[in-house]
Amino acid sequence: MADQIFHVFRGDANGGDLKEYAVPPMEGMVVLDAIHYIQAHHDGTLACRWNCKAAKCGSCSAEINGKPRLMCKTRVDEFHGASITVRPIKVFPLLKDLVTNVSWNYRVNKEIPPFTPAPEAPGAPPWRMAPVDVERLFEFRKCIECFLCQDVCHVLREHNGTDRYYGPRFMVRIAAMEMHPKDTLSRADLLKGKGGIGYCNITKCCEDVCPEGIHITDNAIIPLKERVADDHFDPWRALLRRFGGRKEPRGT
Ligand code: SF4
Ligand code: SF4
Ligand code: FES
């Protein structure tokens, strides 16, 4: 079998270009294997980020033939011998080759108040979670915190909006807490303000690339938008939720 041809971005914030590499075919090869082969046999200075090689850490996010994907989950044979282009994700500043500066995620994470359950009353019976809540939250808990949905979000990517919108990944994170029946906080003010949820216009591009198939807009962003609207434009409903202890999402 002929070698598989890869075009991999080499460069840094000052510029760069695609470089061609030939990689011998290997049974079951994924794009990350090819990158490791290039590092081992062609150029050890090629920079890439990875960790689990099991589609669970999100570190190997890259643009493969123009689409954000996990390098460790992308089989080479699906391209049927055509050349494969690998570029860094565009949404974050480039450091070197396939590695970008993703520190913005750590900053945003710190701005989001964590899960805050009410203290257990002494002697209270064990709390049981309704299956419907388990199912709803399980979808959000599948998020591997990669960078794929962020890379296609036009607010973050085309409009350089990391200063005004938290983006889809953090909408999923916030939804997981906001919709937890035990959580006592409302993050509606944060979502409306610094979180910038109003900038999302529900294009659903983020859903198309999510490796976990999370319905980011339908199940996270739209219900969060409804919460923000209630809190700001329907004070009666907001009061009911606050004093009635309701945490279940709307529209279900
Ligand atoms: S639906 Fe919202 S979060 Fe998702 S890509 Fe579009 S603007 Fe971004
Ligand atoms: S929602 Fe999906 S695409 Fe976005 S960070 Fe989580 S797993 Fe990745
Ligand atoms: S290396 Fe962890 S998701 Fe690819």
Question: How far is C-alpha 37 from the chain's CA centre?
Answer: 27
| Distance, CA of 228 to CA of 222 (rounded, Å) | 10
Query: Using a 6 Å cutoff on CB, does residue 222 contact ligand 1?
Result: no
| Distance, CA of 59 to CA of 36 (rounded, Å) | 14
The H or E element containing residue 222 is helix 222-233
Contacts of 118 (CB under 8 A, 6+ apart): 182, 184
Question: Three-class SS of residue 240?
Answer: helix
pLDDT digits (tens, 9 = 90+) for 127-138: 889 999 999 999
**Ligand 3 binding pocket, CB closer than 6 Å:** 50-53, 55-60, 70, 72
Distance (angstroms) between ligand 1 centre and the Cα of 252 equals 22
pLDDT digits (tens, 9 = 90+) for 196-206: 999 999 999 99
Residue 4 pLDDT exceeds 60? yes
**Which residues pair with residue 75 across a beta bridge?**
30
Mean pLDDT over residues 29-35, rounded? 98
What is the Rg, in whole angstroms, of the alpha carbon atoms belonging to the chain? 21
Supply 120's token pair.
């257990």
Alpha carbon nearest to ligand 2 atom 8, residue = 146
Under the banding of pLDDT at 50, 70 and 90, the label for residue 9 is very high
Question: How far is C-alpha 194 from the chain's CA centre?
Answer: 18
pTM given for the model: 0.91
Q: Which of 61, 212, 219 to mutate to test the pocket of ligand 2 (most atoms within 8 A of CB)?
A: 212
Contacts of 5 (CB under 8 A, 6+ apart): 20, 21, 22, 23, 83, 84
